[in-house]
Structure 1
Amino acid sequence: MDTQLRSQAELINDHLEIIEDELNDFLDFTSIDKVLDSNHQVPIDYIQNIFREFRYLAVYCGEGKRAITKLIQTDQLEQNYVDRVYKGIYYKCVIEYFSPKDEIWTEDSRASYRNKCSIDFRDDPGEIIEQTMKKVEPSFHELREQLDYLDL
């Protein structure tokens, strides 16, 4: 595997690991009741959907990490195999983060101009969830930037 391809794969792997660890920590140590205690106004089904989406993202990032690890350990790689792995990560992780199926949040594409988080929640999810999103968002932006060349 050439040096540039290896370093890109390692960078992608690092960001997937950050996201997976952060989301798993949230899911392991935060309950729906805890979120509702800090924000009584939000509907329980909305918080349940956010937790479900966090679980999906954690699993998808874990799958991507395993696929990248196999790439890194392989000496000879075909570019179309690398692209296939990267496309899977892009669709399952990046697209799912910025445009979740249930539309529980949306991306504000102008957020970077206003120096704020690019995710707009449909309802106020509370501080705990917002802080978790702020922790993982830079890694999702980096993944999107690294995989942008795929012309999807």
Structure 2
Amino acid sequence: MDTHLLSQAESIQDHLQLIEHELSDFLDFTSVDKILDESKDVEINFIQTIFKEFRYIAVYSGEGKKAINRILMDQRIEETLVDKVYKGIYFKCVNEFFSPHHEVWYEDSRASYRNKFSIDFYTKPGMLIEDTIKKIEPSFHHIRDQLDYLDLS
């Protein structure tokens, strides 16, 4: 495998690992009740939906990480297969993060001009959730930047 492709695959895998780890830790050690105790104004359905999105993203990140691991184990993988795996990661992980199926947050495309994180919530979800998003967002930006060369039509 080309050294550039190898380093790119390892980098994406590392970021997917970080995302999966952060979300798994959050989901393992945080409850909906804990969030509701912290943020009295938030509706339970909203928090449950955020947890559901976090579960999807954690699973998709784990799947992407495993797919890249299979690529890394075989040194003679074709570039078309790598692109197929990357497209899957882009559509399942990156798109799900920046445009979640259940619209609980959205990407503020002007955030970089104001030196702030790009994910905004429709309702304030509490600091535990906001901190988790802030931990994983840079990895999603990195993965998206790494995959911007793909023809994603």
- TM category (shorter chain) comes to over 0.9
What residue is the counterpart of 1:64 in the other structure? 64
- CA separation in 1, counterparts of 2:104 and 2:35? 16
- One-letter amino acid of the structure 2 residue matched with residue 96 of structure 1: E
- CA separation in 1, counterparts of 2:109 and 2:71? 32
Shift of 1:2: 1.4
What residue is the counterpart of 1:76 in the other structure? 76
Shift of 1:103: 1.0
What residue is the counterpart of 1:150 in the other structure? 150
User: Which deviations, in whole Å up to 9, do the C-alpha atoms of 1:107-144 show, x marking residues without a partner?
Assistant: 00010111111011011100100000000000000000
* TM-score in terms of structure 2 length: 0.98
- One-letter amino acid of the structure 2 residue matched with residue 115 of structure 1: N
Q: Give structure 2 stretches of 5+ with no counterpart.
A: none
2:46 matches 1:46: yes
- CA separation in 2, counterparts of 1:110 and 1:73? 40
- One-letter amino acid of the structure 1 residue matched with residue 68 of structure 2: I
Q: Which runs of 4+ in 1 moved over 2 A?
A: none
- CA separation in 1, counterparts of 2:101 and 2:27? 20
What residue is the counterpart of 2:22 in the other structure? 22
Shift of 1:151: 2.6
What residue is the counterpart of 1:89 in the other structure? 89
Percent of counterpart pairs with the same letter?
Answer: 64
Aligned length: 152
Q: Give structure 1 stretches of 5+ with no counterpart.
A: none
Shift of 1:26: 0.3
What residue is the counterpart of 1:118 in the other structure? 118
Shift of 1:102: 1.1
- CA separation in 1, counterparts of 2:112 and 2:71? 32
